[in-house]
Amino acid sequence: MTPSSTNHHVTKTSFAARAETATHPLSSYLFRLMVLKNSNLCLSADVSTTNQLLSLANAVGPSIVVLKTHYDLISNWDYNPQTGTGARLARIARRHGFLIFEDRKFGDIGNTVQLQYTEGTAKIIEWSHITNVNMVPGKAAVDAMADAAVRWRERKRYEVKTDISVGTPRPESIDSDCEDETVTPIPEYSLEVERNCNAGRKASIVSITTVSQHFEPVNSPRSYDNFDDESLEGIEDAPMERGLLILAQMSSKGNFMNREYTDACVESAREHKDYVMGFIAQESLNTEPDDQFMTMTPGCQLPPEDDEDAVVEGDGRGQQYNTPTKIVGLLGNDIIIVGRGIIFSADPVVEAERYRRKAWEAYQERIAS
């Protein structure tokens, strides 16, 4: 870790204070969530079925602030936008208070990643608050995703509510004699009337249809008609904005993300502060005075509870582990990402609480020092 990042003011600033100054609405919300839950834990839910994913999210939800998913690992992912896996996961996230992070690691030309983000079967942008990008193809990928997020947000700002009623008007409301006539509907209020008029005979009314439309903010209570009203007490629903994390460093041994690559990631993040929340990295990358980026760090492992002085080994597949104390307390990172250490434990709920507690203690000691 470079001295400039180690001594950066952000590493000594409380999450509550950073919530007040964060430029990204979702970053501000996440910092507030962290303070409310005393948690800076992200669970990497690398499981293979929908039932496993939803059950794990529901069980561990009270301890985490972010749930990291790989939707393409789920063998029976339901793509229905209203009732499918993403929608059900969003419901659990509201109930327990955490954000969903689809670890997609987009890494292609700008047009392709934009389509992968917004279209296709998964429509990731619809249900995932956060995603990430591998910047090997260059800055164009971040530019394209930022543009897609802006346009998606504009489309989602309002939704159309349509009410249709069919009935028969009073006879006195129809007083003209005419040939067959149709009144074309208009958006605000419309009548569709068919009349058969013959000389010397009253008009016969076939039907009348009233169509009324109005626009309503998508974050109004009516937008959640298909969900229960249960949500985490003490904080509102997450903002509609979407956020991006740039994969700037990795925890795997022998990876090719050198300093030149990492510096390019930081440069791109500074160009898109309204969309880029921060980085997946091994160290804080805040170096300029006005940098406020969040850092989420994978490769976190605790030794057994009955032997906390034990050395934490890698997984034999290139993954290198560090403890929450080192990741948060010494390296200045904000959120630890834990997967197998929790999922494969005897009791994931208890183990998630142990990770949450250790990471939060490391944060408190960091800002107090």
Q: Taking residues 41-70, what's their average pLDDT?
A: 98
pLDDT at residue 173 greater than cutoff 50? no
pLDDT at residue 183 greater than cutoff 80? no
Q: Which of 37, 103, 291, 358 is catalytic?
A: 103
Q: Taking residues 339-355, what's their average pLDDT?
A: 97
DSSP-derived secondary structure letter, 239: P
Q: What is the mean pLDDT of the chain?
A: 83
pLDDT at residue 193 greater than cutoff 80? no
Q: Which of 12, 72, 78, 108 is catalytic?
A: 108
Q: Which two tokens stand for residue 17?
A: 């204070």
The larger pLDDT score, comparing residue 311 to residue 205, is at 311
103 is an active site residue: yes
Is the pTM here over 0.85, yes or no? no
Angle at 82 between CA 114 and CA 84, to 5 degrees: 80
Q: Taking residues 155-159, what's their average pLDDT?
A: 73
Tell me yes or no: is domain 3-157+220-368 CATH 3.20.20.70.
Answer: yes
Question: Is 301 assigned to a binding site?
Answer: no
Q: Is the dihedral of CA 44, 306, 369, 321 positive or negative?
A: negative
108 is an active site residue: yes
| Whole-angstrom distance, CA of residue 70 vs CA of residue 47 | 8
Q: Which of 12, 37, 105, 291 is catalytic?
A: 105
Q: For 217-239, what is each residue's pLDDT tens digit?
A: 444 333 333 445 588 999 999 99
Question: For the chain, where do the domains classified as CATH 3.20.20.70 start and end?
Answer: 3-157+220-368
Question: Is 177 assigned to a binding site?
Answer: no
pLDDT confidence of residue 220? 34
Angle at 335 between CA 297 and CA 299, to 5 degrees: 30
Question: Is 339 assigned to a binding site?
Answer: yes
Percent of the chain residues topping a pLDDT of 70? 75
Question: Is 229 assigned to a binding site?
Answer: no
Q: Which two tokens stand for residue 217?
A: 């903010």
105 is an active site residue: yes
Q: For 119-150, what is each residue's pLDDT tens digit?
A: 989 999 999 999 999 999 999 999 999 999 99
Q: Which two tokens stand for residue 245?
A: 């994390």
Q: For 247-257, what is each residue's pLDDT tens digit?
A: 999 888 888 89
